[in-house]
Amino acid sequence: MNVAQMISLMGILGIGETLAEEASKQIALQYLNLAHDQLYRETANINANIWVDEVLTNVNNNPTIVLSEIPFLVAKVFVKGQMCPLKPLSVLDFAQYQFDNLLQGPPLVYMFQLSTVSFYPSQPDTSYEFTVWYAPKRTPLNEFTTEDSIPYPAEYQSVLVDGALYYLFQDESGFKNPQKENEALRRWNQGRADLMAYLYGANSQRISTFSNA
């Protein structure tokens, strides 16, 4: 289901023909993106379809690498030739680790700020090849977003419509409808639960086949 079809469906299930107007399309998009924000936050860590694996090498003794996108979360950082992934640290814990440990050698820990991944320690005049698995920040939906560009399985994309209708029926500016709100909330909660159950099941198979060869 593409976003244009979602907007049309919101018109059928929600507020009728008014969604054919351009202003109402933008209203529908706002509510769809509210639902998208929540669904993305809840599923990004288990939605393997959105993960990116990027291979980067640091240069000129620089203890950082820069990803091509800003991550929502970083799942794993591997260094070629090392058996275990690097340990993630918060920004402050990373600074404390550097202060407490005057080390040279292969990287052991990392932290990220925006698109920059910093690692510690390192060996002078040595470059390292990193494989970074991460979920990029979510891309807002627009009326031209295709089904394949929506980061949830097609069978569960209608959950976005339920979430958008729930937010719409909460609105005090003319759309509030407690009966429809309660029904949309029921479908929204059930759809999110079903999607997360599906993703957990799918991930248990996909993650087990990954190796840092």
13/126 Cα distance (integer angstroms): 60
96-153 per-position pLDDT tens digit? 999 999 888 899 999 999 999 999 999 988 999 999 999 999 999 999 999 999 999 9
196-207 per-position pLDDT tens digit? 999 988 766 444
**How many Cβ atoms sit within 10 Å of the Cβ of residue 92?**
9
Based on the structure, what is the number of domains in the chain? 2
Same domain? For 144 and 132 the reply is: no
Is residue 71 a contact partner of residue 45, using CB atoms and an 8 Å limit? no
Q: Which domain holds residue 26?
A: 3-44+138-209
Same domain? For 204 and 159 the reply is: yes
Q: Looking at residue 105, what DSSP letter applies?
A: S
Whole-number mean pLDDT of the chain? 88
Same domain? For 18 and 85 the reply is: no
What are the tokens at 3?
């976003």
Domain boundary among 89, 119, 136: 136
